[in-house]
Amino acid sequence: MAKSKENRIVVTLACTVCKSRNYTTSKNKKNNPERMELRKYCNTCREPALHRETK
Ligand SMILES: [Zn+2]
C-alpha cells in the first residue's frame, strides 16, 4: 500500500508584475517551507517575470 504524501502540496504561482496566476506546481512542504519564487514566462506580460507562490 502506498504511503500518503502529506508534505507534498499543490501551489499556484502568480506573476509578480501583473498578478496573473499562470502556473501550478507541487512542492514538498518540509523541504520548502518558504514561498517559492520562480522566473517563468508570463503570457500576459509577454516576457519572463518572477512568479511567486500564492494560496
Ligand atoms: Zn505577468
Q: Where are the domains of the chain?
A: 8-54
The strand order across the sheet containing 21-28 reads 21-28, 8-15, 47-54, 37-42
Distance 20 CA to ligand 1 centre (A): 6
pLDDT at 24: 96
DSSP 3-state assignment of 51?
strand
How far away, in angstroms, is 30 Cα from ligand 1 center?
29
Q: Does domain 8-54 have CATH number 2.20.28.120?
A: yes
CA of 27 to the centre of ligand 1 (A): 22
Residue 38 alpha carbon to ligand 1 centre in Å: 12
Q: Are 42 and 22 in contact (CB under 8 A)?
A: yes
Q: How would you write the pLDDT of the chain (55 residues) with one tens digit per residue? A: 666 667 899 999 999 999 999 999 999 999 999 999 999 999 999 999 999 999 8
